[in-house]
Amino acid sequence: MEQGVLQLALTWNGRQILAAGVASTRPLAARALRGFSFARVLEFIPRLFSLCRCAQDVAARVCLSAARGQRPTIAATPAQTQAVALEAIGEHLWRLLLDWPSLHGEPSRQNEFLLWRKHLLGLADAGDGTDGRGAAAFGARLLAWLDHQGPPRCEERMLAAPVALLPRLSAADWESHFGDDGFVERPTFSGEAAETGVLARQAEDPEVAALLSDGRRLQARLQARYADLRELAQGLTEAEQRSSWIDVLEVAEGCGLARVETARGTLLTASSSMATGLRATPLLRRPNGIFTRRGRLSAR
């Protein structure tokens, strides 16, 4: 399978980006995997995706289980839910400790990040998804650390009308929105552009909501990442809070639909046992990426 390329074009007036366009020749996994057996699909998914790989794998597995009607109650296992949470935590820490400091002209916090990463890899290797004691201890440590952390100050305000934020919906809510190949290629929400990711997911957090109402969208985005990280850490300490990140249902006989929240946004995966193939739709993986009805990337 050819890898393809993603080309981004920006129009800059010396002060701000006026327009953006994207052209992609990357193959759609939804098409590439059609006709494969379920076993073959599950073998390919971890190889196909380098970003949010764990979430992609879990989404495919629970979706295929739903399509095949393998369990009376369809749900992700504790180990699967924990794996998705740990992957998202790792990406949040990467952004907050490595990327954002350099963007603000500050030294990256590499040693801190590597220490957290060591703990995350230890949990992943231990497969601690049954009783969750190791994960709970890690979550408590992360919550204590977050009590002394906060985002850098960004006073910039929006100069243009913002794109709508994608609401947080369940797999059942998404059933009516998930359509044909056009949706897979150019996902929209009710035919309109929408942004997914931490800002959309945490838009109702009081601090995030206050920043959004003040037009400070960049600061809100940073605050939302901390809020998301706190929610994930709490989910590790309180198992009942983990379930909101993954859900799945059998939408029709032989057809499954899974929703998995990732650090980059909402991931939807649909499968049909009749075609023995998989349709995977990562909805706008990057939080600053918004697909319009024409499938173009809008950066604001």
Give φ, ψ of 274 to 5 degrees: -70, -35
Name which of 120, 138, 139, 93 is nearest 234 in CA terms: 139
Strand order across the 255-262 sheet: 246-252, 255-262, 265-272, 277-282
Which pLDDT belongs to residue 208?
96
Distance of CA 225 to the CA centre of its chain: 12
Which pLDDT belongs to residue 128?
54
- Which residues does the chain have with pLDDT short of 50? 275-300
**Rounded-to-integer distance, Cα 81 and Cα 132, Å:** 11
Which pLDDT belongs to residue 201?
95
Distance of CA 74 to the CA centre of its chain: 21
Which pLDDT belongs to residue 130?
52
Which pLDDT belongs to residue 2?
65
Which pLDDT belongs to residue 183?
74
Compute the half-sphere exposure of residue 159: CA atoms within 13 Å on the CB side of its CA.
Answer: 7
Q: Which of 1.10.287.1120, 3.40.30.10, 1.10.645.10, 3.40.470.10 would CATH assign to domain 6-282?
A: 1.10.645.10
Please tell me the pTM assigned to this model: 0.84
What type of residue sits at position 213?
S
Q: How wide is the angle at C-alpha 84 spanned by C-alphas 53 and 46, nearest 5°?
A: 20
**Rounded-to-integer distance, Cα 247 and Cα 233, Å:** 19
Q: What contacts 2, CB < 8 A, 6 or more positions away? A: 25, 27
Which pLDDT belongs to residue 298?
32
Q: How wide is the angle at C-alpha 136 spanned by C-alphas 131 and 141, nearest 5°?
A: 160
187 close to 291: Cβ distance less than 8 angstroms: yes
Which pLDDT belongs to residue 300?
30
Name which of 50, 153, 163, 167 is nearest 103 in CA terms: 153
